[in-house]
Amino acid sequence: MLVLTRRLHEAIQIGGEIEIIVLSIQGDQVKLGINAPKHVDIHRKEIYLAIQAENSEASLASKTVLHELQSHLKKLERGENE
Amino acid sequence: MKLRTKYHGEVEVNGTDIFYFSNGIPGFLDEKQFVLLPIEDTPFIILQSVKTPVLGFAMIDPFLYFPDYDIELDEQTIERLELSSERDVAVYVILTVADPFENTTANLQAPIVVNRAKKLGKQVILTNTPYRTKHRLFPEKAGAK
């Protein structure tokens, strides 16, 4: 990993199009500004990882359980209509 | 074209039915083409990978099950999906179908947003939102029956 030390208001340029600026530092919190092209997705890492994990889990749904869920929902609907 | 799918067996789809997800979706970055296949008589719509037959996600219309669900698309998403009219937008959320199915959850934090007209799609990760990745589809039972 490349490690760079930056001060307040200093920036890092990544390639031609991505810039990261240190906007403020307060205690153990650093506020970063990021300029990047629109096609680049930027996320807080832990949130991205959570979505990734959720997608992986969701992809495992078996046909059987989905069918059970289906019939349960139908029962609920019928129940509501009665 | 014929497409092998996770839940529907082999189906016939048109090239024009294929949605393009330019960045894939988190965890599946190489999956850039999907079709939306409703399961008849159910609220489920499967987000089926074109490339990988065994990859399909069960989705629902969040507004049916979570009537208060309210999201705002950021400019980047609107631009990426080339959305010019609200008519073209469709929003789905992925279910994590659990076993037992009562524990099934919906991922309201990262809805699948598509442009129906231009056939573009993206899993949008909402920021500054109260929504999380696991919202129960059925409320927890208060006690055993």
Q: How high is the pLDDT of residue A73? A: 82
**Smallest CA–CA distance from B49 into chain A, residue:** A59
Residues A35, A51, single domain; the answer is no
Residues A48, A36, single domain; the answer is no
Whether the pLDDT of residue A81 is over 70: the answer is no
Residues A71, A53, single domain; the answer is yes
Q: How high is the pLDDT of residue A82? A: 43
Residues A4, A21, single domain; the answer is yes
**How much of chain B exceeds pLDDT 70, in percent?**
97
Residues of A within 8 A of B23 (CB-CB) are: 39, 41
Q: How high is the pLDDT of residue A80? A: 60
Q: How high is the pLDDT of residue B17? A: 95
Q: Say how many CA atoms lie within 13 Å of B106 toward its Cβ.
A: 21
Residues A35, A1, single domain; the answer is yes
Q: Write down the ipTM of this complex.
A: 0.92
Residues A72, A56, single domain; the answer is yes
Number of structural domains, chain A? Answer: 2
Residues A52, A28, single domain; the answer is no
Among A38, A65, A73, whose Cβ lies nearest the Cβ of B80?
A38
Radius of gyration of chain B (CA): 16
Whether the pLDDT of residue B54 is over 90: the answer is yes
Distance CA B76, CA B54 (A): 31
Distance from CA of B2 to the nearest CA of A (A): 21
Residues A34, A9, single domain; the answer is yes
pLDDT digits (tens, 9 = 90+) for A19-44: 999 999 999 999 999 999 988 889 99
Nearest Cα to B114, choosing from B19, B45, B25? Answer: B19
Whether the pLDDT of residue B145 is over 50: the answer is no
Residues A15, A27, single domain; the answer is yes
Whether the pLDDT of residue B28 is over 70: the answer is yes
- Range of the structural domain that residue A55 is part of: 43-81
Residues A47, A30, single domain; the answer is no
Residues A2, A32, single domain; the answer is yes
> What's the pLDDT band for B118 if we cut at 50, 70, 90?
very high
Are the Cβ atoms of B58 and A61 closer than 8 angstroms? yes
Residues A29, A51, single domain; the answer is no
